[in-house]
A and B are shown apart, each in its own frame.
Chain A
Amino acid sequence: KQEVTQIPAALSVPEGENLVLNCSFTDSAIYNLQWFRQDPGKGLTSLLLIQSSQREQTSGRLNASLDKSSGRSTLYIAASQPGDSATYLCAVPDGGGGNKLTFGTGTQLKVEL
Chain B
Amino acid sequence: GAVVSQHPSWVICKSGTSVKIECRSLDFQATTMFWYRQFPKQSLMLMATSNEGSKATYEQGVEKDKFLINHASLTLSTLTVTSAHPEDSSFYICSGVGTGYRVNYGYTFGSGTRLTVV
Contact = CB atoms under 8 A, between A and B. Distances in A.
Binding between chains A and B: yes
Interface stretch (B11-19, B72-80, B81-89, B106-114): B106-114
Given A43-B112, A101-B95, A49 B105 contact: yes
A41 B106 contact: no
Nearest to A49: B106
Contacts, number: 51
B109 A36 contact: yes
B112 to A, nearest CB: 4
A42 B111 contact: yes
Nearest to B102: A99
User: Interface majority SS on B: helix, strand, loop or mixed?
Assistant: strand
A44 B106 CA distance: 12
Interface residues of A, number: 22
B69 interface: no
A33 to B, nearest CB: 9
27 contacts: A31-B102, A31-B103, A34-B106, A41-B112, A43-B6, A43-B93, A43-B109, A43-B110, A43-B111, A44-B44, A44-B93, A44-B95, A46-B106, A46-B108, A46-B109, A89-B44, A91-B107, A93-B102, A99-B49, A99-B97, A99-B102, A100-B46, A101-B34, A101-B46, A103-B43, A103-B44, A106-B43
